[in-house]
Structures are given as structure tokens and as C-alpha cells.
């Protein structure tokens, strides 16, 4: 039996660099930067980005900037987008066994989560400013814990 994986799904954001770049760098907002830092701190098996244009993007894939979002997309298009996302996820992961941590808004989760057996959306219900505060608090705690462990090496 294969080991169950933990996969973090991040949301794309509107603020992007003006030229093609690896996805982890292309998305330039403070919200994305903090969500990526938090995702990395979880030490998951994989982190991917849910993209309105490219569906599912690995962190190191070089992509061009774009101006597309699910926020103003008709519901039918969002459903079609979700079908494509789920096909890609199903090719890479076990949707019945793997755990998905979704750091993305309702529009990005809505039609995906019913097909995932194990998922968590820790930011569910939080507005953007609240999400940023949540990340800063979580990352500060992890930074403090890491600093304490470092200090213990010298005691």
C-alpha cells in the first residue's frame, strides 16, 4: 500500500510579475508569499498552485503572467475549470487516500472538495486581511519554535 501523501493547494493571485517566471516567484502578493511560506512550513509531500488559466501548476514551472480569475467567471466555467483541475490532481495523487490542505478561496474549492475524501481548508470563512493575519500569526509561532530549538542546541 502506497504512503498517504499530504498535498497543499494554493490559490493563484492577481498580483504577478510582468514577465514569465517560476510560479513560486510569479505570484507576487503578500498573501501568496505568506501562503507559500506557511505551506512550506507544513513539510507536505507536494505543493501546487490552482491557477485560473493553467489549472494546476507546480512551484517551479515557468509560466507567463495572465489576467484571469475565477472571481468573475460564470458558474458553468468554474465547474468546467474544476473538472480539469480534478483530472490533473487524479493523475498525480490519490483523491480517495491523500490529504489535501486547501489554502484557496471558496470559488477555487467549491467544485473540487466534493471529490476529495480528505481535505481541510483552514482559512475557510476568513477575508483576505484576516487570512494575512492568520498566516503571520502561524508563521511567527513556527519561527519562534525554530529559534527555541536552535537555542537548545547550544545549551
52-105 pLDDT, tens digit per residue, is 999 999 999 999 999 999 999 999 999 999 999 999 999 999 999 999 999 999
pLDDT band at residue 149 using 50, 70 and 90 as cut-offs: low
Give the model confidence (pLDDT) of 5-14 as tens digits. 999 999 999 9
Neighbours of 105 (CB within 10 A): 19
Parallel, antiparallel, or unpaired for β 118-120 and 99-103?
parallel
In tens, the pLDDT along 12-50 reads: 999 999 999 999 999 999 899 999 999 999 999 999 999
Q: What is the DSSP letter of 36?
A: H
CA dihedral 6, 69, 75, 89 (to 10 degrees): -20
84 to 45, 65, 135, 152: CA distances (angstroms): 22, 20, 29, 48
- Domain borders along the chain are 6-152
- In the chain, beta strands by DSSP E: 6-11, 21-22, 46-51, 55-58, 62-63, 99-103, 118-120
98-136 residue pLDDT tens: 999 999 999 999 999 999 999 999 999 999 889 988 988
Amino acid at each position: 500500500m502506497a504512503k498517504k501523501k499530504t498535498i497543499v493547494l494554493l490559490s493563484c493571485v492577481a498580483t504577478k510579475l510582468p514577465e514569465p517566471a517560476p510560479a513560486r516567484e510569479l505570484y507576487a502578493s503578500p498573501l501568496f508569499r505568506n501562503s507559500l511560506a506557511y505551506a512550506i512550513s507544513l513539510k507536505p509531500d507536494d505543493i501546487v498552485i490552482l491557477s485560473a488559466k493553467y489549472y494546476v501548476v507546480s512551484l517551479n514551472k515557468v509560466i507567463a503572467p495572465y489576467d484571469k480569475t475565477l472571481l468573475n467567471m460564470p458558474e458553468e466555467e468554474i465547474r468546467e475549470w474544476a473538472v480539469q483541475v480534478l483530472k490533473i490532481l487524479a493523475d498525480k495523487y490519490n483523491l480517495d487516500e491523500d490529504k489535501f490542505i486547501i489554502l484557496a478561496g471558496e470559488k477555487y474549492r467549491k467544485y473540487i472538495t466534493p471529490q476529495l475524501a480528505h481535505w481541510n481548508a483552514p482559512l475557510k470563512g476568513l477575508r483576505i486581511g484576516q487570512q494575512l493575519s492568520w498566516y503571520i500569526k502561524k508563521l511567527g509561532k513556527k519561527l519562534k519554535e525554530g529559534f527555541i530549538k536552535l537555542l537548545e542546541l547550544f545549551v
